[in-house]
Structure 1
Amino acid sequence: MPAKLTRSAGSLTIDADTVIVVDRNDAAAKSIATYLAAQLKQSRGLDLRIADSAGTAKAIVLKRDSKAGTPAEGYTLDVNAKGVRIHAGDDAGLFHGAVTLWQLLTQNEAHGPVELTALHIEDAPRFRWRGLMLDSARHFQSVDEIRALLDQMALHKLNVLHWHLTDDQGWRIEIKRYPELTRIGAWRTPPDASRDGEPSRYGGYYTQDDIRAIVAYAAERHITVVPELDMPGHAQAAVAAYPELGVTGKRPPVSPDWGVNTYLYNVDDATFAFIDHVLDEVMALFPSCYIHLGGDEAVKDQWQASPAVQAKMHALGLKDENALQGWFIARVGRYLQAHGRRLIGWDEILEGGVPASATVMSWRGVKGAIEAAQKDHDVVSSPAPDLYFDQLQSDRADETTGRIPVRDLASVYAFEPVPKELTAQQAAHVLGAQANVWTEHMPSATHVQHAVFPRLDALSEVLWSPASARDWSGFLTRMPTQLARYRAQGIVYADSAFAPSIEVDRNAALVSGKARVTLANQAAYGELHYTLDNSTPTAQSPLYQGPFETSLPATVRAVALDGQGRPLAAPRSRVLDAVSLLSRESAELPNCPGSDFRLRVQPTPDATTLAPAYSINVFDTCQFFPQARLDGVTSIHVEAARLERNYQLAHEARLVVSRPAKTEFGELVVHLDTCDGPALASMPLPDPATNPRRFTLAAGLPDHIGTHDLCLIFTAPITGPLYGLERVSLTPSTVK
């Protein structure tokens, strides 16, 4: 939403006779005009001519004037019966004005001429850092996939792509002086490679020509690309390429594991020479003022165990390894500063002391942002889990992979980048915010788009529009048009916020043979329509006005529609019969008490399909089947999958619960009520070497009556694979 918008009487029709006018010698304005024309041709089929004068034609005038008086990146936009005029003091403002005009011209999905209401807009961003972080180290995206993401960033008026290029799982940037970084460091061997669909080799990297092309493409859209090279931790891929950079001198593999690995750079002069040389090539590729050095999750075990590192630490008079990390980051920061660049890093860099010029990206909540701003450091707010787009956006059974807890569209819209604990002077250090797209569980561009959109809409408004203008209801009324734009552009967005849930009291339905059905959606927006006759619901189907009752068996189908009858999400359906009511999907099986860590993962680390997905806890292989009605139930049927235990947990490995197995490969044990309650069944797990990943288990159950929780525990050794539950079903003696 623009900062100020005033509508007035009158209108203007934009059609094929409209001309885009720019000053003859203004190459930047002409580039923006070319961009606008291309967008309009693609979205509305209008082929507008660009000229340096309109003559008698209606005109869209793009005018850049350094004396315009508009704020940085700001613009004014006027529409009247004579034409459109966009006026800005800088190129970025002119570009943002062109984007706003494109939005005004795409208020519906029609092609051809479009009528604009007369209006006046005065607009400028609230924050100067409006970012998105893309992790290309864990999973690799093609140049075209990154261009598609940049296209959307531009249309959301975001201006920073923070590009995570190196980590334990891959080194993705070509460094000509050190070819082993990509010959070895860009490729990993997946766990269980070449079996059950896993590739024998995974990876890729961006050549320097690729990077120049991406940086130029972003610059045309007024987006700065900020590269990140992680140090001193998350260094395993670099050490795999050049073992002498590490602490032990031994060559590890490029890691196939997610989590926190323990490989660090050493602190020898030769290693700093390597880093300086790498940064020389990085700075030649990226004109960004900021270079991100990471600095997070550097587990200090290798430094603590190394006599050479300890000797260096004592020679420098440093009290501990945190101080050594501060010295490390500061040394590299000074090299950047000597070359006219600025260091930015994750909030751990505060722990060892960093130069006053360092900018802090706060990810461990907002505490780092508060501390940094109070110490007069510039800050970018990027807290987990609030702005981590690898967090799931719903707890629906049909949601894809990611982390829990859920961060939905509403929570992103409610995020405030400036912590309330800061004074006005300290708050001025908050440059803005960004969302982070960590890709451990996003192996494809489809996964990335599902995670990013439409939550990026919420964040873009938080970062651009005045805080006083934030209006959740108003935002929702504009979302249907935006979703239509996504569909037209082929963006695979998540419809989780608008997808209807179909809820019933399972046990009451089993007893009575009738289900009382409640419909809702996460955003509480749109009209819900439903059917009971297996037909697809439309605007002509019954309107949901409150809970209704239906006899079993039944199939309820539902859809959420906007005010124009357009679907806000794909229809959803639910079968209601004894079999389904006595079953639970993976997402419906909560963790056992004691650990709230929870992931939803794909069958293999590099699988590219959105389903199936398994909810797991890597610390405790125990889940609950809640409120099971056991009257007449005679057996249990389980659909399960063997998953890779590719998680490095560092010091948290001690938290993994070990449950000894009684059979060779372990078993799935079902307990009554609690996890130390009576064992109702024990189902041996199949041999991993000779059986497929997905398998079924079944066992009889003793007679019980009433409603009970069931505790399901995998007792497989913690050195072996993990197991995920896809579906658990209870079978009654008589199925209705």
Structure 2
Amino acid sequence: MRLAGVIFFFALCGLVQASPVSIIPLPAQLQTAEGSFTVDDNTPIVIPSGDAAARQSAQYLVDTLARTRGLHLKIVEGGSAANAIAFVRNPASPVTQAEGYKLDVTSHGITIDARDDAGLFYGGITLWQLLTPDAQKGAVQVQALHISDWPRFAWRGVMLDSARHFQSASDVKLLIDQMAQHKLNVLHWHLTDDQGWRIEIKRYPELTHIGAWRTPPDAGHDGEPLRYGGFYTQDEIRDVVAYATARHITVVPEIDMPGHAQAAVASYPQIGVTGKRPPVSVDWGVNPYLYNVDDATFQFVDNVLDEVMALFPSHYIHVGGDEAVKDQWKASPAIQAKIRALHLKDEDALQGWFIGRVGSYLAAHGRRMIGWDEILDGGVPADATVMSWRGTDGAIKAAKMGHDVVMSPSPDLYLDGVQSDLPDETAGRVPVRDLASIYAFNPIPAQLSATQAKHVLGAQANIWTEHIPTMQHVEHAALPRIDALSEVVWSPASARNWKNFVARLPAQFERYADQQVDQADSAFAPNIHLDANKALKMHRATVTISNQAGYGAIHYTEDGSTPDIHAPLYRGPFVVNVPATIKAKTFAEDGSVLAAERVRVLDHDSLLTRLGVELPNCPGSDFRLRIQPMPDATSMAPVYAVNVFDSCEQFPAAPLDGVNAIHADVVRLERNYALAHDQKLVVSRPHTTPYGELVVHLDRCDGPTLATMPLPNPAVSARKFSLDASLPQTQGEHTLCLAFTAPIDGPLYALGSISLKTAGEGRGSLASR
């Protein structure tokens, strides 16, 4: 095969269009050649006779192509490879790495060869991407090329939290398919926590009869269900595990201990410390319930693990070990007596003993324990693997001690972090974890030597679901950020190139659309910038439009009409007269939409209005969440910004010339947060009316009070309400401090929007931002 162009680690060349097609993750080596091969419905897929694994990989290719390209290929055993797609089992393949493969396209056919089953499967995944370069259907011409490919890391994972919010088994399979298509190979399945026990254990039926269900706060009101929960039967789990196995994904279950145990203790109070039955928790955060350390409780744990191991053939079993607040152990005479009897230093050492005992039980059954990095705090079995979530320090410490580690740090790889600070971003944690930050993550800490770095098995991203209640939310959180993750854990580190990566995403977005899978467009979403105060004064605005990725063609209109590829192309700042309505949309080179329309209304009212999600926290606390009106709301919007430690935001540079009133749209939210020892950090402000007030201060949060707006009785008022107050005449631009003084043992409050009013003005337009 005469080479027309050679690309080894081709992203290094800085060629945005260097790859002939969109392949994600980037192959280790790729060479292009002259010629091409056309695949149509008459192209056979040839597999070795009697090779069940090759047939399985070929069938996955057939099924996925039928859904996404409308091609319907047939599988033939032992036929000729001429003018065909051939899956070849090749013990002498030049790609010697596990899970690796070689893929060749010539004018005479396509060949995938590999030494192992996973390699054949991943070769098929790459071929599927070669065959779906665009949104067209039917026959496709593939450029001649040669690929040699293998993964950088053995552990390429995603954690799905099914304990906080429950996904159906079919939903879990949807995520598994997307993982497989990105060559990710570990699903860490978080199945138990304070808010729910999701796995059927035959010996202990109360775990799912009681522990799988919770009574939500304000149940039955404002769309909150009367009862929330669900669980996976053992048959469903076997089915999900088999589905994953067929896609070369290992499912690692997590059964939390000794903390995050409230749902278990609610089911069987005798395994808890106090012997009393708590409810299944409705509070996110750190709850106090722990397992006790009686022999009977360890028998319970062992029996549960027996059934878990029977369902999950994975080498690893995850035991949690995180956020085990020791208050109950400290207060228990029986636990203190156990610490003395075992000659242990303290409660942390007791947790180490607890985890060590569980680890020994797993080892006796041929399994290996993995846990969050807190398991290091009290001592840990020598063969334990550590999953580092409290930044990277746990991984560094564990690797230096000789433990294998999986990188999963917060906030770096936490996909419940919001993807942008745009007003229409969905619920999640702050700070922003955008697509570029995931792509830039380095799984190997610089502090590790080459020998220590060998203990880094890989990395995984976590989808915690406190604020991700539906599968649509999961898809939005995961995609396209797992595209970036896949390149971090599969592709050579030297090959990563941001511009090259985003240039390969438009075809991937088309694949999502063909599979009816949702994804976030945050990286490409037009962000419409202007100086609102200057626009108010000048009746003109200088508008700039940008997006995170720095990629795509942004087309816009000024008259409120919907932009298409014939609308003006944004090339730089432009000036519009006020009033105006700016709409912008981002397109790929082929004209497909990369980001949906964003709107900015420019009129007197909207220029004097700020959405609550746009207002920064008051000084003193960086904590911030974007949440929906109710904990189990299933819609994607509206979303409100809250700081559970300090209900205070600021309106910076508020233009107060001519302003004589203020209008606030407010929402009352559930204070369902278990803060443990951090409860002392919650700010309590004095209130002068029974339910507190929204207080407006000038310049600082201890500055002069401009307005006080009493909050209504939560027992009789609507969840969403408005507040109005007069403001004294003030000149110039000033920061407004907007603080809620509601009692901290009651509900939270958040601003939907805040509007300044001038003389003679009605409420006006609360425009889409």
Q: TM-score, structure 1 length as denominator?
A: 0.99
2:99 matched to 1:73? yes
Q: Which moved more, 1:254-263 or 1:694-703?
A: 694-703
Is 2:497 aligned against 1:474?
no
CA distance in 2, matches of 1:22, 1:563: 37
> Does residue 539 of the first structure (1) align with residue 569 of the second (2)?
no
Task: Give the match for residue 98 of structure 1.
Answer: 124
Q: Which residue of 1 aligns with 2:685?
A: 659
- Alignment deviations for residues 386-443 of structure 1 (CA, whole Å, 9 cap, x no partner): 0000111101110010000111000000000010110111000000000000000001
Q: What displacement does 1:262 show? A: 0.6
Cα separation, 2, equivalents of 1:691 and 1:8? 70
Q: Which residue of the partner structure matches residue 463 of structure 1?
A: 489
Question: Which segment is superposed worse, 284-293 or 28-37?
Answer: 28-37
The equivalent residue for 1:647 is 673
Match of 2:355 among 314, 319, 329: 329
2:164 to 138, 162, 170: 138
**Contact 1:19-1:57 within 8 A present in 2 as well:** no
Match of 1:28 among 46, 53, 61: 53
Residues 403 and 599, structure 1, Cα contact 8 Å, conserved in 2:
yes
The Cα of 1:536 is off from its aligned counterpart by: 1.2
Structure 1: distance between partners of 2:721 and 2:760? 25
Q: CA deviation at 1:42?
A: 1.0
Q: Displacement of 1:205 after TM fit? A: 0.3
2:413 is aligned, of 387, 390, 409, to: 387
Alpha carbons 1:19, 1:48 under 8 Å: kept: yes
Partners in 2 of 1:671 and 1:203 — Cα distance? 43
Distance 1:49 1:553 in 2: 60
Task: Tell me the distance in 1 between the aligned counterparts of 2:233 and 2:305.
Answer: 15
* Amino acid in the other structure paired with 1:6: Q
| Greater CA drift, 551-560 or 283-292 | 551-560
Question: 2:708 aligned to 682, 704, 710, which one?
Answer: 682
Q: Which residue of 2 aligns with 1:447?
A: 473
Tell me what 1:236 maps to. 262
Pairing 1:609–2:597 present: no
Instruction: Work out whether residues 46 and 81 of structure 2, in 8 Å CA contact, stay in contact via their aligned partners in 1.
Output: no
**Structure 1 residue 55, shift from structure 2 partner:** 4.6
Q: In structure 1, the residue corresponding to 2:60 is in which secondary structure? A: helix
Which of residues 399, 407, 411 in structure 1 aligns to 2:437?
Answer: 411
- Mapped partners of 2:605, 2:186: distance in 1: 51
1:51 aligns with 2:97: no
Q: Is the contact between residue 81 and residue 109 of structure 2 (CA under 8 Å) also seen in structure 1?
A: no
Structure 2 counterpart of 1:526, which letter?
Answer: G
Closer, same or farther in 2 for the Cα pair 1:85/1:57, shift >3 Å? closer
Within the candidate set 560, 566, 591, 2:586 is matched to 560
- Offset, 1:734: 5.2
Q: Choose the corresponding residue for 1:204, options 204, 224, 230.
A: 230
Distance 1:5 1:733 in 2: 68
Which residue number in structure 2 is paired with residue 159 of structure 1?
185
Contact preservation (8 Å) 1:299, 1:650: yes
Counterpart of 2:153 in structure 1 is: 127
Matches within 5 A, 1:511-526: 511-526=537-552
Residues 605 and 644, structure 1, Cα contact 8 Å, conserved in 2: yes
What does the per-residue CA deviation read over 1:285-318, in whole Å, with 9 as the maximum and x for residues that have no partner? 0000000000000000000111100110111111
> In the alignment, does 2:62 pair up with 1:14?
no
> Aligned partners of 1:171, 1:527: CA distance in 2, in Å?
47
Corresponding residue for residue 718 of structure 1: 744
Are the structure 2 counterparts of residues 494 and 56 from structure 1 closer, same or farther at C-alpha, using a change threshold of 3 Å? closer
Kept in 1: contact 2:47–2:79 (CA 8 A): no
| Structure-1 residue corresponding to 2:110 | 84
1:564 to partner: Cα distance: 2.1
User: Are the equivalent residues in 2 in contact too, given 1:17–1:57 (CA < 8 A)?
Assistant: no
Q: Deviations over 1:529-554 (max 9, x none)?
A: 11112211122111212111111100
Q: Does 1:696 align with 2:722?
A: yes
Partner of 1:574: 600
Identity, % of aligned positions? 65
1:41 to 54, 66, 69: 66
Instruction: Give the number of equivalent residue pairs.
Output: 736
Kindly provide the amino acid, as one letter, of the partner of residue 365 in structure 2: H
Tell me what 1:259 maps to.
285
What is the identity, as a one-letter code, of the residue corresponding to 1:97? G
Q: Is the 8 A contact 2:670 2:748 kept in 1?
A: yes
Letter in 1 for 2:295: D
Separation in structure 2 between the aligned mates of residue 373 and residue 150 of structure 1, nearest angstrom = 29
SS at match of 1:332: helix
| Separation (CA, whole Å) in 1 of partners of 2:356 and 2:658 | 69
- How many angstroms does 1:54 deviate by? 3.7
| 1:174 and 1:208 in contact (8 A); partners too | yes
- The alpha-carbon deviation at position 57 of structure 1 amounts to 6.3
The alpha carbon displacement at 1:711 in A equals 0.6
Question: In structure 2, what residue type is equivalent to 1:295?
Answer: G
Structure 2 unaligned segments of length 5 or more: list them.
Answer: 1-25, 765-769
Distance 1:668 1:201 in 2: 33
For the aligned residue pairs, the C-alpha RMSD in angstroms reads 1.0
Does residue 192 in structure 1 map to residue 218 in structure 2?
Answer: yes
Paired amino acid for 1:440? E
Specify the alignment match of 2:396 in structure 1: 370
Q: Is the CA contact (8 Å cut-off) linking 1:20 and 1:62 kept in structure 2?
A: yes
1:241 maps to amino acid: S
Greater mean deviation of Cα atoms: 38-47 or 603-612: 38-47
Which of 562, 585, 595 is the equivalent residue of 2:611? 585
Mark the runs of 5 or more structure 1 residues left unpaired by the alignment: none
Q: C-alpha displacement at 1:277, in angstroms? A: 0.2
Aligned equivalents of 1:579, 1:106: Cα separation in 2: 47
**TM superposition shift of 1:567:** 1.8
Query: Is the 8 Å Cα contact of residues 640 and 726 (structure 1) preserved in structure 2?
Result: yes
TM-score, length-normalised on structure 2?
0.95
> Which secondary structure does the structure 2 equivalent of 1:352 belong to?
coil
Structure-2 separation of matches of 1:36 and 1:530: 40
Q: Does 1:301 align with 2:327?
A: yes
Would the aligned equivalents of 1:175 and 1:278 in 2 still touch at CA under 8 Å? yes
Match of 2:89 in 1: 64
- SS of the residue aligned with 1:482? helix
Contact 2:159–2:461 (Cα < 8 Å) also in 1: yes
Give the drift of 1:27: 0.9
Name the CA distance, whole Å, in 1 between partners of 2:560 and 2:31.
Answer: 47
- Correspondence 1:500 to 2:519: no
Query: In structure 2, the residue corresponding to 1:530 is in which secondary structure?
Result: strand
Q: 2:201 aligns with which of 168, 175, 180?
A: 175
**2:11 match:** none
Contact in 2 for aligned 1:75/1:94 (Cα 8 Å):
yes
Instruction: Give the counterpart letter for 1:32 in structure 2.
Output: S
Tell me whether 1:510 sits opposite 2:536 in the alignment.
yes
User: How far, CA to CA, are the matches of 1:582 and 1:428 in structure 2?
Assistant: 56
Name the CA distance, whole Å, in 2 between partners of 1:613 and 1:56: 56
Whole-Å separation in 1 of the counterparts to 2:231 and 2:83: 48
The question of whether the paired residues in 1 share the 8 Å contact of 2:262 and 2:290 is answered with: yes
Q: CA deviation at 1:56?
A: 8.4
Q: 2:357, 2:92 → 1: CA distance?
A: 41
Q: What's the offset of the Cα at 1:578?
A: 1.1
Q: Secondary structure at the match of 1:697?
A: strand
User: What SS is found at the alignment partner of 2:528?
Assistant: strand
Deviations 1:164-191 (A, max 9, x none): 0000000000000000000000000111
In structure 2, the partner of 1:284 is 310
- SS across alignment from 2:596: coil
Secondary structure of 1:569's counterpart equals: strand
Determine if contact 2:46/2:80 at 8 Å carries over to the other structure. Answer: no
* 8 Å Cα contact 1:18-1:57 kept in structure 2: no
Q: What one-letter code is carried by the residue in structure 1 that aligns with 2:88? A: K
Q: CA deviation at 1:71?
A: 1.0
CA contact (8 A) 1:635 1:731 kept: yes
